[in-house]
Amino acid sequence: MRSPTTSPGQSPARDTRAVSRRTPEGPPPPPVVQRVRLRYAKRGRMRFASHRDFARAFERALRRAAVPIAYSAGFTPHPKVSYVGAAPTGVASEAEYLEIGLASRVDVDGLRSEIDAALPEGIDVLDAVEAGAGSLAERMEATAWRLEIEADPGLLAHALADFLDADEVGVERLTRDGRRTVDARGPVLAASLTDQAGGRAILDVVVRLATPAPRPDDVLAALRAVAGFAHEAPRWNYRAVRLAQGPLDGSGAIGDPLAADRVARETAP
């Protein structure tokens, strides 16, 4: 029998009242009572782990270490973990950061040791501090990369000089929205080259974290472009590691992004 509220050819109106009143079963999750910020390293083969792979490994480590992690509310609760400025896949790092929210208070030094022991080889928790006021992400103003490049150091030196003399060097990057051109020169604050034996060179680069910030492969693509052989083979093989990321001081050096949290804890009543 047709509903009196519908006319011929129409489907009965959907009753959304029951859906709008749905609520997750059980009590809400405990609130966050402590936030801890961690610095960790990606070394060896773990530099090839994607950010998603690392997130899965880290959440498994939290369970193994019985960390009292807090969870979001809703039908699909998620652990309260905030990742900050993850390094690209294939790049090692000595300065990755994240923040976790805890449902009960813990000893921070003990927490660092327990999580570190539960993580796979190549991921090492180097530091931990109870979070103070302010956003950790907002402290990340610059990052320092070290690139070990298989190329003629003399050729690299000329390319670097041309790169630093330029106001802008555009390179193409593949993004979710397709290919786009990013300026690899503007955010570079400093760059220096050290010769090595055997056709290798060490390039140290300090990059301001603009949006989007140039990655190590963007910088190398820009060097090849200014040298005039952007599309020539073979491309340079390289190994990159992030040495630091954090706030910039008056001299242009990168500071410790966790320093403000340590000061806040030391001066707390």
Q: Is the dihedral of CA 119, 128, 55, 255 positive or negative?
A: negative
**HSE-up of 99 (CA within 13 Å, CB side)?**
18
Q: pLDDT, tens digit, for every residue of 71-92?
A: 988 778 899 999 998 899 999 9
Q: 41 or 73: whose pLDDT is higher?
A: 41
Is domain 142-246 in CATH 3.30.70.3190, yes or no? yes
* CATH architecture of the domain covering 34-138: 2-Layer Sandwich (3.30)
Mean pLDDT across 30-53: 94
- Element (H or E) spanning 206, and its range? strand 200-208
What is the per-residue pLDDT for 19? 47
Q: Is the pLDDT of residue 60 over 70?
A: yes
- Element (H or E) spanning 264, and its range? helix 259-267
Q: Is the pLDDT of residue 22 over 70?
A: no
Q: pLDDT, tens digit, for every residue of 222-241?
A: 998 888 876 665 678 899 99
Domain ranges of the chain: 34-138, 142-246
Number of neighbours of residue 100 by Cβ within 10 angstroms: 24
Average pLDDT, the chain: 87
Q: Rounded to whole angstroms, how far apart are CA atoms 116 and 248?
A: 28
What is the per-residue pLDDT for 64? 96
